[in-house]
Chain A
Amino acid sequence: MKHEEREVVIELKNAWKIFGEQADQAMQAVKSEGIGKAEVLDKYGAVVGIADCSFNVRRGEIFCIMGLSGSGKSTLVRHVNRLIEPTSGEIYLLGEDVMKLSTTALREMRAKRIGMVFQHMALLPHRSVRDNVAYPLEIRGESKSRRWDVSQHSLSLVGLDGFEDRFPRELSGGMQQRVGLARALASDPDVLLMDEPFSALDPLIRRQLQDQFMALSEQLHKTTLFITHDLDEAIRLGTRIAIMKDGRIVQIGTPEEIVTNPADDYVRDFVQNISKLKLVFAHTIQVPINEYKPQEGDDLSRSPRVSQDVDLDYLIDVAVKTNQPTVTTDDDGKDVGVVSKDRLLQGIRDGK
């Protein structure tokens, strides 16, 4: 099943968040007069945190929101479970209008439907690892034996068997964050909100946790909203990526779309140094076979044949073994395009 066909789990429509005492007036002015960020600060002493953000996340997707610090991504993720109230806009979670939920219903929703992982772990230092993981269940009023069973299971999912009777401070940062992940999984939520979960960790451990998270994700198919400031991470993990700047979403798309077709200079700057080898595929850079102008010494019949869906990494492997341009084929094995070495080099550099 393709992602586009699955049901929408999280949906934000025109969400705005303005911080400040005169937030409401500022909001009205923004809507009626369309004043900008600087003017809002000037006139109302208010700061625009989120400006007109809309997106939706489908079941099973890992939706990454990428932006530099201060771009409003952490604020945005907190709108989904209303840890922060939007100034205006609509939020739907599993088809329910989150804004219309009563306090109790909202708490219920948070306890049963949403798991959240935080940048600085936010574990309870005075409770054992087991009690930390079981905390969401405890809030739901589950019995102790149930809590113990579930937390044990959840800890084994993240590979922390045998650590359940330790205290968080006895664990390393990476292990603590795995406890955080286990805690989010313990209530078996439909939605995982992950607020820069790995950014406080050192690169090696970050990599490990990313791998572990991807494996888990494959296994559990949780709908995930993943916040990060690291584009590499977003590209590694994300089914789709939204790029934020100054509270606005600049571009939403699959990793390949973002890399090959950046919406503006800001995004282009970002993706420039990203390795395209695994993101760009032959069909993006190939020259259609009928438009191809053979160079001297070319003999397409001697060229190697590859599917047009292989990535650049694979193309390089193929190209180094021959002095001919590579020919790409479609699913039926018919020749559709040509990738010359020049074209390949250009593709590696620019992504197209």
Chain B
Amino acid sequence: MVEDTKPDVTKEIPKIDLSDSIREFADQNSDYYVECLTEIQATGEKVTPWNNAAMLFGPAWCAARGLWNMFWLFTVAELVALVQLGRGIWGDLGAEKMSEATQLRERAHELRLEAGVAGVTGDETAESSAEIATNLEKAADIAMMEAVAAAETWWIYLLAGIVLFVVLRYVLGRYANRLYELQYAAWRLNRNTPNGFNMQRLIYALALLAVLVPLTLYRFTVSNPAPWLTDVPIGNSYFTTSSNVLDSWFDRTAELGAGVFDGVTAGAQTVLDVMELFLVDAPWPVVAVFLVLIAWRVASIRVAIFTAASLTYIGFLGLWEASMVSIVLVGAAAFFCVIIGIPLGIWFSRSERAYAIARPVLDLMQTIPPFVYLIPIIAFFGTGRVPGILATIIFAMPPVVRLTALGLRQVPSNVVEAAVAFGATKWRILIGVELPLATPAIMTGVNQTILMSLSMVVIASLIGAKGLGQEVLTALQYVAKGQGILAGLAILFCAMMLDRIVQGRFQRQEDQ
């Protein structure tokens, strides 16, 4: 019975008439497109009628019909084809070799003259000069032959150009209607999708093509194109002036703000000194015992074993002090990131406006390559460990700010509401409810910050922050592979050590 009704049901389904809608979409020449698109849809996208207009006008058709992606794709591809074609027809393919040959011949000629003169005066160089001249002439001949051969290959370029062009147009003619059908489907969903046949778009596209095609053809087919085309026609006068202006500005600002910069330096230096006292100056057995013990208490026995192994590696390779200096650097940077970042994060979670202003800045801090801000840091703070830490802070602070703000925003609003309903003050809610609930996110941020600080260790050593980074950098300069890799592994172990310890803390909190 089911079999009986099935065909019936299919037969009964009325056909949807898309003609009007397609007509509205296609605008010009709509009857043709109604036919094409209906056929594509009817055959399950297996048959695509040929589109003459697309084949004839190529990218211009795409633009006029609003298929911008196709326009760009085919414009670039056709440019490549046309460049080959142009080189085949007009291009002096052997020009380069030819000029080389001419130069060689001239040089040989000169040498021969010299040899002649030398021969007259009885100089011994005459013979060698003549020999060189002969060699040069031979080279010139070869170059000449190559030039001729290259010039004869014009037909290959021509052919390649033509073939590519024809293939492109064929592809366009073949698939234009299919693409147009897709565009139609998109247009049905979103009426802002370009539709119809738009003169403005066509003119726009033609203008673009009119500029792009001749310029490119000229550049690639002529052997000596005008210099303004290959290079931006501006000398380095602007460059010199502006770099001088910047130099003097930096010097002045550094002088004016010396108090501020020195204050920041002194502050950071104090923290560094204290940490250094514990990690670098304290006897190594004490430091090792402390680190292993902290790893055990804070994380787990496994992390403690890993820490012990890492420390052994570092100690045996004689990288102890360099490692501790690096850890101090990372520790101080992470400390500042946390001290500054968490309050900032709290503020940004409270004030929508502050966050709106700060977010692009945070984005920027993460987006720009660290190289860029090394320069102003050097200009203001000089070289050494403190500027290294500052660069690290800029690089590593965003995650902790972001994740603190995120964590606080993700605290379930009903829990906060409950605290408010029981009469808790804002401060109490922050300390007793929001921060504890945001701790996982904040800890993730701290973790990321530590790892990012470690990845800055090497870059910071570019501006004079010692430690393991220095070792890697030196190795890089002298291509001392072994040393570089050993020091690099030491950095990796330090990173993993700190990471595991901090993560261990966080995981234990999770477990509770």
Contacts from A to B (Cβ < 8 Å)? 81, 83, 106-112, 114-116, 118-120, 122-126, 135-136, 139-140, 183, 187, 193
B423 proximal to A (CB < 8 A): yes
Stretch touching chain A among B293-301, B393-401, B411-419: B411-419
List the A residue with the shortest CB-CB distance to B509.
A126
A108 contact from B412, B420, B423, B432, Cβ within 8 A: B423
B412/A139 in contact, CB under 8 A: no
A124 and B422 within 8 A (CB): no
CA distance A111 to B422 in the complex (A): 5
CB of B489 within 8 Å of the partner chain: no
Complex: A139 Cα to B423 Cα, angstroms: 7
Give 5 A-B pairs besides A110-B420, A112-B423, A116-B418 with Cβ atoms closer than 8 angstroms.
Answer: A107-B423, A109-B423, A111-B424, A118-B418, A124-B437
Which residues of chain A come closer than 8 Å to B425, judged between CB atoms? Answer: 107
Whether a CB of chain A sits under 8 angstroms from the CB of B252 is: no
Interface string of B302-318 (1 = CB under 8 A from A): 00000000000000000
The distance in angstroms between the C-alpha atoms of A83 and B424, with both chains bound, is 12
Indicate if the CB atoms of A116 and B422 lie closer than 8 Å.
yes
Q: Please, which residues of chain B bring their CB within 8 A of the CB of A115?
A: 422
Interchain CA distance A122-B429 in the complex, whole Å: 13
Query: For residue B436, which residue of chain A has the nearest CB?
Result: A126
Assuming the contacts A83-B417, A116-B418, A139-B428, asked whether A122 and B412 have C-beta atoms less than 8 A apart, the reply is: yes
A108 to B423 Cα, complex, angstroms: 6
**How far is the CB of A132 from the nearest CB of chain B, in Å?**
10
Q: Which residue from B414, B419, B423, B433 sits with its C-beta under 8 Å from A120?
A: B414
Closest residue to A110 on the B side, CB-wise? B423
B421 touches A114 (CB 8 A): yes
Q: Which residue of A lies closest to B412 (CB)?
A: A122
- A123–B415 Cα distance when bound, in Å, is 6
Q: Which of A109, A118, A183 has a CB less than 8 Å from the CB of B414?
A: A118
Q: Is the interface of A mostly helix, strand, loop or mixed?
A: mixed
Question: Which residue from B415, B422, B433, B437 sits with its C-beta under 8 Å from A187?
Answer: B422
Of B412, B420, B436, the most chain A CB neighbours within 10 A belong to B420
A195 to chain B minimum Cβ distance, whole angstroms, is: 9
Of all chain B residues, the one with the shortest Cβ separation from A139 is B424
Residues of A within 8 A of B423 (CB): 106-112, 136, 139-140
Q: Which residues of A contact B420 (CB under 8 A)?
A: 83, 110
8 Å CB contact of A122 from B418, B424, B428, B436: B418
**Chain A nearest Cβ from B189, distance in angstroms:** 27
Cβ B428 vs Cβ A126 within 8 A? no
A17 to chain B, nearest CB (A): 16
Q: Please indicate the chain B residues that have their CB under 8 angstroms from the CB of A136 in the complex.
A: 422-423
In the bound complex, residues from chain B placing their C-beta under 8 Å from that of A126 are 436-437
Instruction: Tell me which of B419, B422, B428, B437 contacts A125 (CB under 8 A).
Output: B437
Report the minimum CB–CB distance from B85 to chain A (whole Å).
Answer: 60
Q: Are A110 and B422 in contact (CB under 8 A)?
A: yes
Q: How many angstroms from the CA of A193 to the CA of B423 in the assembled complex?
A: 14
Give the docked Cα–Cα distance between A115 and B423 (Å). 10
A116 and B421 contact, Cβ closer than 8 Å, known pairs A126-B436, A126-B437, A139-B428: yes
Query: Which residues of chain A are near B437, meaning CB under 8 Å?
Result: 124-126
CB pair A122–B422 under 8 Å, yes or no, is: no
Assess the B422–A139 pair: CB atoms within 8 A: yes
- Min CB distance A196 to B, Å, is 12
Chain A residues with CB under 8 Å of B414's CB are: 118-120, 122
- List, in ascending order, chain B residues with CB within 8 A of A135's CB: 419, 422
Report the separation of the CA atoms of residues A306 and B425 in the bound assembly, to the nearest whole angstrom: 59
Whole-angstrom distance between the alpha carbons of A12 and B424 in the complex?
24
| Cβ-closest 7 pairs across A and B | A111-B423, A110-B423, A122-B418, A122-B414, A116-B421, A136-B422, A107-B423
Interchain Cβ contacts under 8 Å between A and B, 14 examples = A107-B424, A107-B425, A110-B421, A111-B423, A116-B418, A119-B414, A122-B412, A122-B414, A122-B418, A124-B436, A125-B415, A126-B437, A135-B419, A187-B422
Would you give the shortest CB distance from B221 to chain A, in whole angstroms?
61
* Contact, CB under 8 Å: B433 / A124: yes
- Which partner residue on chain B sits nearest A114 by CB separation? B421
Shortest B201–chain A CB gap in Å is 36
Q: Smallest CB–CB gap between B508 and chain A, Å?
A: 13
What chain B residues lie within 8 Å of A187 (beta carbons)? 422
Closest-by-CB residue of B relative to A187 is: B422
Contact of A83 among B412, B421, B433 (CB under 8 A): B421
Q: Are A122 and B433 in contact (CB under 8 A)?
A: no
Q: Chain A contacts of B422 at CB under 8 A?
A: 110-111, 115-116, 135-136, 139, 183, 187
Q: How far is the CA of A314 from the CA of B173 in the complex (A)?
A: 87
Please give me the residue from chain B that is nearest to A136 by CB atom: B422
Q: CA of A119 to CA of B415 in the docked complex: distance in angstroms?
A: 11
Query: How far apart sit A187 and B422, CA to CA, in the bound complex (Å)?
Result: 9
CB nearest neighbor in A for B439: A126
Chain B positions within 8 Å of A81 at CB level: 421
Query: Chain B: which residue is nearest A84 at the CB level?
Result: B417
Pair B417/A118 contact, Cβ less than 8 Å: yes
Q: Report how far A107 CA is from B426 CA in the complex, Å.
A: 11
Chain B residue with the shortest CB-CB distance to A132: B418
**Most central of B423, B425, B428, B433 by chain A CB within 10 Å:** B423
- The complex places the Cα of A140 from the Cα of B418 at a distance, in Å, of 15
Name A135's closest neighbour in chain B (CB-CB): B422
> Which residue on chain A has the smallest CB distance to residue B418?
A122
Chain B residues in 8 Å Cβ range of A139? 419, 422-424, 428
CB interface residues, B 374-422, toward A, < 8 Å: 412, 414-415, 417-422
CA distance A125 to B510 in the complex (A): 11
Q: How far is the CA of A187 from the CA of B423 in the complex (A)?
A: 11
Closest-CB distance, B361 to chain A (whole angstroms): 27
Which residue of chain B is the closest to A125 with respect to CB atoms?
B437
* Cα-based distance from A333 to B419 in the complex (angstroms): 56
Looking at the assembled complex, report how far the CB atom of B482 sits from the nearest CB atom of chain A, in whole angstroms.
49
Give complex CA distance A124, B415 in Å.
7
The smallest C-beta distance from B342 to any residue of chain A, in angstroms, reads 18
Closest to B415 in A: A122
How far apart are B352's CB and chain A's nearest CB, in angstroms? 14
A260 to B412, CA, bound (A): 42
Q: Which residue of B lies closest to A140 (CB)?
A: B423
Q: How far is the CB of B36 from chain A (nearest CB, A)?
A: 45
Question: In this complex, what residue of B is CB-closest to A104?
Answer: B425
Residues on A with C-beta less than 8 A from B415 are: 122-125
In the assembled complex, the Cα of A261 lies from the Cα of B76 at a distance in Å of 79
* List of A residues within 8 angstroms of B433 by Cβ: 124
Per the bound structure, the CA–CA distance linking A50 and B386 in Å amounts to 59
Q: Which residues of A contact B417 (CB under 8 A)?
A: 83, 118, 122
Report the Cα distance A135→B419, complex, angstroms.
8
- A91 to B428: give the CA distance in the assembly, Å: 27
A135 to B420, CA, bound (A): 11
Give Cα A120–Cα B413 distance, bound, in whole angstroms.
Answer: 11
| CB of A326 to closest CB in B, whole Å | 51
Q: How far is the CA of A122 from the CA of B433 in the complex (A)?
A: 11
**In the bound complex, CA of A115 to CA of B418 (Å):** 10
Separation of A30 and B26 alpha carbons in the complex (Å): 49
How distant is B239 from chain A, measured CB to nearest CB, in Å? 50
- CB-nearest residue of chain B relative to A112? B423
A313-B427 Cα distance, complex, nearest whole Å: 56
Smallest Cβ-Cβ distance to B424: which chain A residue:
A139
A172 to chain B, nearest CB (A): 19
Taking the closest CB of chain A, its distance from the CB of B417, in whole angstroms, is 6
Provide the bound-state CA to CA distance between A343 and B433, in Å.
60
B424 partner residues in chain A, CB cutoff 8 A: 107, 111, 139
Q: Which residues of B contact A114 (CB under 8 A)?
A: 421
